[in-house]
A and B are shown apart, each in its own frame.
Chain A
Amino acid sequence: MNTYHATVTITLRKGILDVQGKTVEHALHASSFSTLTDVRIGKHVEMTVTAASEEEARAHVDAGCKALIANPIIEDYSITLHAMEAA
């Protein structure tokens, strides 16, 4: 078995008003950072996955996202994986 480091990035789906993102954007604009737009706030979840292959590891993380980590009604997620060095 191999171990992988997985990072899940969760953001509100497009079309869902991100009130936190909007508020931060307004504050940035009020502080002269007017070139920063479309601010979206999300969540970052990291975990270690034990699996036979990268494909299997991705499937495990994806299943965890669907079951709990993200709510598909309002959130999108993306998964980044990389193999960890054996200790």
Chain B
Amino acid sequence: MNYGIVVFPGSNCDHDALTAAQRSGGNARYLFHKETSIPSDIDCIILPGGFSFGDYLRCGAIARFSPLMREVVTFANKGGLVIGICNGFQILTESGLLPGVLLRNTSLSFICRDVYIRADNTQSPFTSSLQQGQVLRIPIAHGEGNYFAEPETIRRLEDEGRVAFRYCTADGDSNDEANPNGSINNIAGILNERGNVLGMMPHPERYADKALGCDDGMAIFQSIANAMRIAMPL
């Protein structure tokens, strides 16, 4: 059960992601973005948060051209698990692994605070240990987290149950007041068609230890660990 955490110039959540992955019982190591292959023992790729390539041009746009990202696309297309968090989510949309784009927050402010998100899909490898409608307290820290896609794409995401997480109140009510950044339908995280790629703006790796005040984020890493255990013959 091995996680690979991709390190780009400007990644800054890679250490937290490594620690959270290890706490779920897996082995985890860093993969530098200039590498040209993904080691064959890697089961799950994490694209961590940060400001890859200084967010130049558009968030995630340059990272997509890193040699390792081409391998990540191949890995995902073969069914490998890929989770992109914050800047990692932006990289996934720029790479075409997930639809849509993350626009500037409607407030124009960088927002760094805890939010509540609701699990609306508990069938995926990233969310299987959550209950339908379960509310998690998870921090966000982004300036461009305003999820946008064409109406047809949004309809497909909704119809196919691919909205994994939605911003909500502490009671699980997904309304405008609970929407921190202007995302369509309060979308905080989405899955690809096959369900093996998740992108989310909130940072579960930052709440993976009770010593930090909350470990709600561990549910996501536990889900991934469970999925990898099931996939691995003993």
**Residues of A in contact with B (beta carbons under 8 Å apart):** 16-17, 19-20, 23, 43, 68-69, 71, 73-74
Q: Please, how many angstroms separate the alpha-carbon atoms of A23 and B101 in the complex?
A: 21
Query: Would A23 and B103 be within 8 Å (CB), given that A68-B65, A74-B148 are in contact?
Result: no
Name the A residues within 8 Å of B107 (CB-CB): 19
Contact assessment for A73 and B101 in the assembled complex, using a CB-CB cutoff below 8 Å: yes
Name the B residues within 8 Å of A69 (CB-CB): 57
Q: B159: CB under 8 A from chain A?
A: no
- Interface of chain B residues 40 through 81 with chain A (CB within 8 A): 57-58, 61-62, 65
Name the A residues within 8 Å of B62 (CB-CB): 68
**Which of the listed residues A16, A68, A69 has the most CB atoms from chain B within 10 Å of its own CB?**
A68
Is chain A's binding surface mostly helix, strand, loop or mixed? Answer: mixed
Give 19 pairs: A residue, B residue, CB < 8 Å, sorted on A.
A16-B103, A16-B148, A17-B182, A19-B105, A19-B106, A19-B107, A20-B104, A20-B108, A23-B108, A43-B57, A68-B57, A68-B61, A68-B62, A68-B65, A71-B61, A71-B101, A73-B101, A73-B149, A74-B148
- B193-208 interface code vs A (CB 8 A; 1 in, 0 out): 0000000000000000
Contact assessment for A19 and B58 in the assembled complex, using a CB-CB cutoff below 8 Å: no
Is chain B's binding surface mostly helix, strand, loop or mixed? Answer: loop
Nearest to B103 among chain A residues (CB) is: A74
Q: Please, how many angstroms separate the alpha-carbon atoms of A49 and B210 in the complex?
A: 56
Q: B100: CB under 8 A from chain A?
A: yes
Nearest to B108 among chain A residues (CB) is: A19
Nearest to B107 among chain A residues (CB) is: A19
Name the A residues within 8 Å of B57 (CB-CB): 43, 68-69
Name the A residues within 8 Å of B103 (CB-CB): 16, 74
Q: B185 to nearest A CB, angstroms?
A: 15
Name the B residues within 8 Å of A20 (CB-CB): 104, 108
- Interface of chain B residues 126 through 172 with chain A (CB within 8 A): 148-150
Q: B120: CB under 8 A from chain A?
A: no
Contact assessment for B108 and A71 in the assembled complex, using a CB-CB cutoff below 8 Å: no
Q: Please, how many angstroms separate the alpha-carbon atoms of A19 and B148 in the complex?
A: 14
Q: B114 to nearest A CB, angstroms?
A: 23
**Which of the listed residues B94, B103, B107 has the most CB atoms from chain A within 10 Å of its own CB?**
B103
Contact assessment for A17 and B61 in the assembled complex, using a CB-CB cutoff below 8 Å: no
Name the B residues within 8 Å of A71 (CB-CB): 58, 61, 94, 101
Name the A residues within 8 Å of B61 (CB-CB): 68, 71
Query: Would A74 and B106 be within 8 Å (CB), given that A16-B148, A68-B65, A69-B57 are in contact?
Result: no
Contact assessment for A19 and B94 in the assembled complex, using a CB-CB cutoff below 8 Å: no
Name the A residues within 8 Å of B149 (CB-CB): 73
Q: Please, how many angstroms separate the alpha-carbon atoms of A62 and B103 in the complex?
A: 23
